[in-house]
Amino acid sequence: MKRTALPPAAGTIVGRVATIPATPALKLRVLSGLALVPVLLTPVLFAPDAALARTTTTAGEAEGGGAVGTPAGATSATPTPLKGVAVYLSYAKGYPVARYEPGGGFTKLGNVPDTFQFSASPDGTKLAWITLDGRVHVGAGSTAKIVAKGAAAGFPCLTPVWSPDSTQVAYSPKDNSEKSPLIVINPDGTGARKAGKTLGVCHLAWSADGRHLAGYTGTTAGVYVFDMKTGTSVRAKGIKLANHVQSLSPDGRKVVVHTLSPEDPGGDGGWPEGFTPTIVDTVTGNQVPVPVKGKKIGAFYLADGRLVVRVAGRTHNTLVVLDSSGKELQRLAEPAQARTQALLQIVS
């Protein structure tokens, strides 16, 4: 399938994502420079140039095929087992987002906006979202606050992202340049600052070290890793096409991504219900093996370097927890109600 944009169609409603699973329809794609052009795509249905000076390669990872993700300064102490607390997105009416706690059930945090530009905080207590008027909102339940204006709106893939400690939000403002600026702001609306520019602005992920963000380009042409310290970004090696970034390793070196072949549809920019995860060492370009059997439909890095792999099941999905060497540490059954929902956060 050629990735050639069609001319704009009359009456196109910018930024409105009505449904994810459907028949082939006119979908919206963001191009570099944030020029919006609709293209004819078949929706993806999910069932059961500078060197990166970030992390010193260890002997076991010289070719990027060793540990699934070892953060700088990681210890060998036994980590606290996960309890199964997580945040899910339902594709039912209104697209509700809810926090799940074993024994306590689901607690609704809010609904996805028409723009589909939203994210859940890593601590699982609040949401950030962008409305069609370009306003950035933060809140949970019936409590919400407008913390910024002038965000790029109407582009489903331009989701805001929370810092790993849930104390800041990054988003893309309206801008016509090839590289989009990144604005970082506190959830009370204070401390806004420009962090730098990047081509990788879609489905941003923020590493646990607080320094790196990664996102794919609006044309799906690769993934870029942004350095908060230097304000610059570089293209990740080993990823030609992608339409989803799920997570970064704590040191920002490895990325969990949904890669595409040239024949695959680019999608509509909406958050996927599930996807086949590929883990790539962004420095070497090598893929990192994931030693988990079954149909994998997602993966997350935790702050201590553990990798959580989501595996599809008939009655419920399972979360398989691996240590930095790939050894299985734990298995948790997700609630049956979440089997067809998107996993947004694993609260550790």
- What rounded mean pLDDT belongs to the chain? 83
pLDDT of residue 166: 98
Q: Which residues contact 75 (CB under 8 A, 6 or more apart)?
A: none
Q: Cβ atoms within 10 A of the Cβ of 288, count?
A: 23
Q: Cβ atoms within 10 A of the Cβ of 202, count?
A: 26
> What's the CATH code, domain 25-41+85-346?
2.120.10.30
pLDDT exceeds 80 at position 55: no
pLDDT of residue 78: 83
3-state helix, strand, coil in the chain (%, to 5): 0, 40, 60
pLDDT of residue 296: 98
pLDDT of residue 180: 95
Which one-letter amino acid corresponds to residue 102?
P
- Kindly report, residue by residue over 8-35, the tens digit of the pLDDT: 333 332 332 333 333 233 233 343 333 3
For residue 290, give the nearest of 312, 307, 273, 313 by alpha carbon.
307
258 vs 27: CA distance, rounded Å: 19
- Kindly report, residue by residue over 92-109, the tens digit of the pLDDT: 999 999 999 999 999 999
Beta carbons of 296 and 288 less than 8 angstroms apart: no
Provide the residue ranges of all domains of the chain, joining segments of one domain with +.
Answer: 25-41+85-346
Q: Whose structure tokens read 């790993």?
A: 164
pLDDT exceeds 60 at position 65: no
Q: What is the mean pLDDT of residues 260-276?
A: 95
Q: Is 204 helix (H, G, I), strand (E, B) or coil?
A: strand
Element (H, E) at 257: strand 254-259
